[in-house]
Amino acid sequence: MPRPLRSWLPPFCPNSSCDSHAAPGTWRFKRKGFYSRLRGPRRVQRYLCRSCHRNFSSQTFATTYWLKQPRLLRPLFHRLVGCSALRQIAREFGLTHGSVQRQSERLGRHCLLFLEELRPRGAPAEPLVLDGLRTFEHSQYWPFDLNLLVGASHYVYGFNDAELRRSGSLRPGQRAKRTALEAAHGRPPPQATRQAVEELVGRVVPPGGAVEIESDEHGAYPQAFARLSDRRIRHRTTSSKESRTPRSPLFPANLADLLLRHSSANHKRETIAFSKRRQGALYRAAIWAVWRNTMKSRSENRRDEPPGVALGLIAKRLGAKEVLAERRFPWRQELGPWLERCYFARIATRRLARCRSHTLRYAV
């Protein structure tokens, strides 16, 4: 990302354990020459923090830090919400599947922080709709719900995941395979949806806040709300069997589900692009939510403003350039336990032994 060398100054020390964060306003740094890169910006200003004596550069604050293919990030953003699969994107840009995967994980982490930074801090002023998008990771033996909390304005306030046990009508062979898989990898906790909804609503509605929530008749939702006794939650239910028209109270969530399936290759039915890890689906959902909140019109026909503009959270519609203008650092925001696990890719897929967890690196 090209930066004006003279006018731009580093706003803080990017080292999370630096003393300078304890006393804001006292931070001092000095310029320490340049280094050159093969890709733009080719000449990069280096700095030295006078508190912790660590080196960093203007690139440390760019979303393209350490990338050999920095120009890929923006088109990748559009393709990930344009229903392309990772291998299709890789073929288009002449890259390996792994390179595209790493960059999409980076976009996912960035978008998680972007979403959290933009989210209103108080209780939402509009009614919310809660719904779980049923999908799966690795194989259809490992379904999970992507729980979404969407406002009447279509703003996506947050999401999280809840593992589920494969249900529905199973043939005897499928039932035996499920038993064998559960014996080897453990069974998803039966309280997962209740716990996830409690975390999601607790994150979006602060203690003492009041909110109206519409949902279907899922039995775990009232149990989750009952545990959030320090919030005033008015819960109304509508049967999910009722017609899914714009007049339905669940319309914002139904439309979000529809858009998420329409825009994301991993949630299409009968696809080979399904998520191999739940973590990947969550990163991709973060990218989708940023696109939905800040770039996409509420109505395609009216070409009206995105939900974030309608709520006054941003002044105008954003493009990928604005969304990716500055790197976000996880330690600059207060992340709850779920967001922290998701950011650092610690959400495990039972079927796979190892997480591809992310380690925080800051300097160039």
113 touches Zn ion by CB under 5 A: no
CB of 332 to Zn ion, least distance (A): 14
CA distance 276 to 260: 17
CA distance 174 to 281: 25
CA distance 149 to 115: 13
CB of 13 to Zn ion, least distance (A): 3
253 touches Zn ion by CB under 5 A: no
Query: Looking at 11-19, 87-95, 136-144, 298-306, which segment touches Zn ion (CB under 5 A)?
Result: 11-19
Two structure tokens written together for 276: 């191999």
Task: Return the residue of 1, 13, 181, 250 that touches Zn ion, per CB under 5 A.
Answer: 13
48 touches Zn ion by CB under 5 A: no
H or E element at residue 340: helix 337-343
Query: Looking at 14-22, 128-136, 186-194, 247-255, which segment touches Zn ion (CB under 5 A)?
Result: 14-22
CB of 217 to Zn ion, least distance (A): 53
Q: Which CB sits closer to Zn ion, 52 or 192?
A: 52
Task: Return the residue of 15, 60, 63, 103 that touches Zn ion, per CB under 5 A.
Answer: 15
90 touches Zn ion by CB under 5 A: no
Exposure string (b/e) for 288-322, b if CB count within 10 Å is 16 or more? bbbbbbbbbebeeeeeebbbbbbbeebeeebebee
Beta strands in the chain (DSSP E): 29-36, 43-49, 55-57, 128-136, 143-151, 156-163, 210-215, 232-237
CB of 330 to Zn ion, least distance (A): 17
Q: Which amino acid is at 242?
A: E
Listing DSSP states for 127-151 in one string gives -EEEEEEEEESSSTTSEEEEEEEEE
363 touches Zn ion by CB under 5 A: no
123 touches Zn ion by CB under 5 A: no
Pairing mode of beta strands 232-237, 156-163: unpaired
Q: Judged by CB under 5 A, how many residues of this single chain contact Zn ion?
A: 6
Two structure tokens written together for 124: 């939402």
CA distance 215 to 224: 13
362 touches Zn ion by CB under 5 A: no
Which residues, at least 6 apart from 35, have a Cβ–Cβ distance to it below 8 Å? Answer: 43, 44, 46, 57, 364
CA distance 8 to 102: 28
Query: Looking at 17-25, 60-68, 265-273, 287-295, which segment touches Zn ion (CB under 5 A)?
Result: 17-25
Task: Return the residue of 52, 90, 192, 313 that touches Zn ion, per CB under 5 A.
Answer: 52
Q: Which CB sits closer to Zn ion, 13 or 152?
A: 13
Q: Which CB sits closer to Zn ion, 10 or 209?
A: 10
51 touches Zn ion by CB under 5 A: yes
18 touches Zn ion by CB under 5 A: yes
Q: Which CB sits closer to Zn ion, 51 or 237?
A: 51
Query: Looking at 7-15, 101-109, 174-182, 320-328, which segment touches Zn ion (CB under 5 A)?
Result: 7-15
Judged by the rule CB under 5 A, the positions of this chain that interact with Zn ion are 13, 15, 18, 49, 51-52
